[in-house]
């Protein structure tokens, strides 16, 4: 299988894992009565140790050991900023407004790629507007009162900038690493350390029943460990520009999972919006790269 196909599949898996995370963030507070910020602390504390165990039980030394571990720990700090800012933003904004605002970050990633001369899909000019329109139709209910808290908007902007920074920096550091699992372990370790350091300020609580623990462990593995590892693999294979566009599939998967597991219904508007997002991802995946070699050379179109 070509790197491009592996990267695409990995980012779809990452999108699915993040959709699972959103679903569990809705369910766990109802079952455990835990505040969302405590759940965020637990997600990294439960996601990180399995990777430590995995690396410890490897019979042979892994190739591509970390030569600059602080870079990966720093990525974990950035990802934790995105995670906690999302929680605080959602306490001030509705889910639909948050999704509309947060998904400016793929545009930021593509814009940076264009300015820096990195490769972007040739049809980005068509795919990005289609994606934004699709996300708007999928998440926003026409006729609803639109209220935007300025502080929530500011926190969401921080969230978007952190996600864009994570994807752009991850592309660089993971491309130089043979084994993404090693780097992902350091990333999750950095995120876990941030979460633990916030306990004196945010406090921490634990589930009071087995169902709550099962949901919390599932959140750590399927909603955190799996999507982060898959995202890092994809960014290594595809690059940040393509990866950030594919991950816009996550809100659509969240809506579909709510339909399947929470007995929610979809309007015609949401079906159209989800279809536009999927169509844009297909167009962008099949589009060749637009590569700017340098400021003194013309734009070349290459197929990878």
Q: What are the C-alpha distances in Å from 282 to residues 72, 117, 172, 253, 270?
A: 31, 23, 25, 15, 18
Q: In what order do the strands lie in the sheet with 120-121?
A: 120-121, 289-292, 299-302
- Is the per-residue pLDDT at 1 higher than 60? yes
Please write the tens of the pLDDT for every residue from 285-304: 888 887 555 444 444 444 44
Could you give the count of Cα atoms lying within 13 Å of 80 in the half-sphere of its Cβ?
29
Single out the residue of 86, 89, 88, 100 nearest to residue 144, CA to CA: 100
Percent share of the chain, pLDDT over 70:
91
Structural domain count, the chain: 1
* pLDDT classification of 210: cutoffs 50, 70, 90: very high
On whether the CB atoms of residues 211 and 78 are closer than 8 A, the answer is: no
For the chain, give the secondary structure using H, E and C. CCHHHHHHHHHHHHHHHHHHHHHHHHHHHHHHCCCHHHHHHHHHHHHHHHHHHHHHCCCCCCCCCCCCHHHHHHHHHHHHHHHHHHHHHHCCCCHHHHHHHHCCHHHHHHHHHHHHCCCEECCHHHHHHHHHHHHHHHHCCCCCCCCCCHHHHHHHHHHHHHHHHHHHHHHHHHHCCCCHHHHHHHHHHHHHHHHHHCHHHHCCCCCCCHHHHHHHHHHHHHHHHHHHHHHHHHHHHHCHHHHHHHCCHHHHHHHHHHHHHCCCCCCHHHHHHHHHHHHHHHHHHHCCEEEECCCCCCEEEECC
pLDDT band at 179 (very low <50, low <70, confident <90, very high): confident
Query: Does residue 65 surpass a pLDDT of 60?
Result: no
Give tens-digit pLDDT for 88-108: 998 888 888 888 889 999 999
Q: State the residue range of the domain holding 291.
A: 3-302
Cα distance between residue 205 and residue 213, in whole Å: 12
Paired residues of 302 in beta bridges: 289
């Amino acid at each position: 299988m070509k790197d491009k196909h592996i990267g695409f599949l990995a980012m779809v898996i990452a999108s699915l894992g993040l959709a699972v995370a959103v679903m569990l963030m809705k369910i766990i507070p109802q079952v455990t009565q835990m505040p969302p910020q405590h759940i965020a602390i637990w997600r990294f504390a439960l996601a990180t140790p399995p990777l430590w165990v995995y690396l410890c039980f490897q019979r042979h030394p892994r190739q591509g050991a970390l030569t600059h571990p602080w870079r990966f720990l720093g990525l974990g700090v950035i990802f934790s900023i995105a995670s906690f800012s999302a929680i605080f933003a959602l306490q001030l904004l509705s889910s639909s407004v948050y999704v509309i605002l947060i998904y400016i970050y793929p545009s930021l990633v593509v814009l940076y790629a264009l300015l820096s001369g990195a490769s972007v899909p040739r049809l980005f000019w068509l795919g990005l507007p289609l994606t934004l329109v699709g996300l708007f139709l999928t998440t926003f209910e026409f006729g609803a009162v639109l209220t935007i808290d300025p502080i929530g908007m500011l926190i969401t902007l921080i969230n978007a900038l952190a996600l864009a920074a994570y994807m752009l920096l991850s592309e660089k550091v993971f491309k130089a690493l043979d084994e993404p699992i090693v780097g992902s372990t350091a990333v999750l370790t950095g995120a876990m350390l941030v979460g633990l350091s916030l306990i004196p300020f945010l406090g921490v609580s634990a589930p009071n029943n087995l169902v709550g623990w099962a949901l919390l462990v599932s959140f750590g593995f399927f909603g955190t460990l799996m999507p982060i590892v898959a995202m890092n693999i994809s960014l290594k294979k595809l690059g940040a520009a393509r990866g950030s566009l594919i991950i816009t599939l996550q809100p659509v998967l969240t809506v579909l999972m709510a339909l399947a597991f929470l007995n929610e219904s979809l309007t015609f508007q949401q079906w159209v919006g989800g279809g536009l997002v999927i169509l844009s991802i297909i167009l962008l995946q099949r589009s060749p790269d637009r590569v700017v070699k340098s400021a003194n050379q013309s734009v070349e179109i290459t197929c990878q």
